[in-house]
Amino acid sequence: MSSYHRLKNRVPINNAIRTELKEALIDLSKETSISQSKLLDQAIELLLDKYDKPVPSKKFDEKQ
C-alpha cells in the first residue's frame, strides 16, 4: 500500500509549479522546520482570504 493511502486528514494533489518556487519552498521548509505540505496549506489559506473566500476550519489540531 502506498503511503498516501494512510493519510487520514490530508489528500495528495498533483500539480506543477515554477521550478524556482519549488526551490524556495524547499529552502523555507528547511529553514523553518515546517513541512512543505503545511506551508502549502498556509499559502492556500492566504489565497482564499485574499479573494474573500471562506477558509475551511481545521478538522484536527495541527502543530504549526
- Model pLDDT for residues 22-34, shown as the tens digit of each residue: 999 999 999 999 9
Grid-cell match 505540505, residue found: 37
pLDDT attached to residue 8: 83
Q: pLDDT per residue over 30-51, tens digit each? A: 999 999 999 999 999 999 999 9
Please state the pTM of the whole predicted model. Answer: 0.78
**Grid coordinates belonging to 19:** 521550478
Give domain status of residue 4, yes or no: no
Domain count, the chain: 1
For 28, the domain range is 17-53
Residue 4 has pLDDT above 60, yes or no: no
Give domain status of residue 3, yes or no: no
Cα distance between residue 43 and residue 47, in whole Å: 6
